[in-house]
Amino acid sequence: MIIAITGVGAVSALGQGAAALFEGLCAGHTGLAGAPTWGERGPAGMLDGGADRRSSALALLACREALGSDTLPPGLAVVGATTSADMRASEPAWAALAQGHEPADPDSFVWPQLCHLPTQVVARAIGAQGPRMTISSACTSGACAVGVAAELIMAGRAPAALAFGADALCDTTIHGFASLGLYDPQPCRPFHADRQGLNLGEGAGALLLEPLAAAIARGAQPIALLAGYGNTSDAHRLTAPEPGGLGAARAIRDALGSHEPAEVGWVCAHATGTPINDEVEADVLRRELPRAAVTGIKGAVGHTLGAAGALEAVVTALAVQLGRLPPHAGSDGSAFPGLNLVAAEQRRPLRAAMSVNFAFGGHNTALLVTPWTP
């Protein structure tokens, strides 16, 4: 079965909408000003709870764009991804308790932190009645959601699936990364010699997936095809990647399937700006996909955690559809001269492109995207 990507949606530091994200990247724009990033400029008041339910609000915006005006097929699956869900809404309760006060809303201790909450909000809002699940596998979550959504369709569990990743900034996440010493106080510089760490961002990405035959039958115009999915674990350490990048390499090979590495003309890289992760990722890409041009987008939108893989899958699908490769954001790649970073927007057709994510806990995910031709 061939899986088509028939809709995409996004909200990021570059604005609302997939076009704002992609055009901003191609123009070399950035939404970063150091850490933390987008913060209070994100949309608020989209749902009950306002800005405090920001992850759910971001998810719903991206998902509605991906669906567009399409009629939902009966049994549409919703596969969401997040790392912190709406945890921000629970933080006042914990702060009150720490200060010896009773929290105003005791229910907020638990309810907003449940990882499935954004998925539930989206499914209810759009009236989806098919399978519903949430992936929380650190910073591969959004990419895993896309892969799992495709697997549900191929297994006959759903006629179509909406996959999304969404995460919003909250104090818990910000201070957690600060405690690890992973922040760059300036806009991050992935693959740069003097990179110091990441910037956090927030946003959401969504993709509508369905069998190609079904999409054609209903008159849809696919954006691209999801041709492969790889997901592995390093079984190494909680934060550090396996030094040889063996798990990451296996994910890439699994996603390639019967495709040859030389077919992949472009990679949307994980590219966090953290010293060890960049080094391992660069080695893996040079070894497994030596002919591919490489772009990282976190230097423009920040590291959006559970949303990262979904946002990067949206960018990859549009790059394949339009034959446009956005430039690498945030640095000139001076630390890795053998890495073929895209310095300025390139326009050329792609036989295939890949989006990769390598996360804490040794999670590795790769998505292979190919063009659709009528």
d(CA 51, CA 209): 29
Helix, strand or coil, per DSSP, at residue 99: coil
> Rounded to whole angstroms, how far apart are CA atoms 299 and 329?
5
Q: What is the pLDDT of residue 88?
A: 75
DSSP string, 214-230: HHHHTT---SEEEEEEE
| The CATH fold of domain 227-370 | Peroxisomal Thiolase; Chain A, domain 1 (3.40.47)
Q: Reduced to 3 states, what is the DSSP secondary structure of residue 55?
A: helix
| pLDDT at residue 74, rounded to an integer | 87
Q: Any idea how long the chain is?
A: 374
User: Which is the catalytic residue, given 144, 192, 268, 303?
Assistant: 303
Instruction: Give backbone dihedrals phi and psi of 76, rounded to 5 degrees, phi first.
Output: -55, 130
* Rounded Cα distance, 92 and 71, in Å: 40
The runs of H, that is alpha helices, within 29-134 are: 54-67, 91-98, 117-126
DSSP 294: E
Mapped onto helix, strand or coil, the DSSP state of residue 345 is coil
pLDDT of residue 41: 35
Angle subtended by helix axes 275-288 and 246-256, to nearest 10: 40
Locate all alpha helices (DSSP H) within 155-211, ordered by sequence.
Answer: 171-179
Domain map of the chain by residue range? 3-217, 227-370
Residue 270 annotated to the active site: yes
Q: Provide the CA 360 distance to its chain's centre, in angstroms.
A: 14
* CATH number of 3-217, picked from 3.90.850.10, 3.40.50.12280, 3.40.47.10, 3.40.50.150: 3.40.47.10
Contact 93, 106 (CB under 8 A): yes
Catalytic residue among 170, 268, 270, 363: 270
- Give the whole-angstrom CA distance, residue 161 versus residue 47: 23
- Asked about 303 being catalytic, the answer comes back as yes
Tokens representing 345 are 């927007």
Contact yes or no for 280/243 (Cβ under 8 A)? yes
Q: Which residues of 261-288 are buried (b: 16+ CB within 10 A; e: fewer)?
A: bebbbbbbbbbbbbeebbbbbbbbbeeb
pLDDT < 50 positions in the chain: 34-51
pTM of the predicted structure, to 2 decimals: 0.92
Catalytic residue among 26, 63, 115, 139: 139
Give the DSSP letter string of 65-77: HHHTTPPPPTT-E
304 and 335 Cβ atoms separated by less than 8 Å = no
Task: Give CA–CA dist 299/196, Å, rounded.
Answer: 12
For residues 197 and 85, give the distance between their C-alpha atoms in angstroms, rounded to a whole number. Answer: 23
Please name the residue that has the structure tokens 């890439």: 252
- The predicted-structure confidence for 136-195, as pLDDT tens digits, reads as follows 998 999 999 999 999 999 999 999 999 999 999 887 787 778 777 788 888 889 999 889
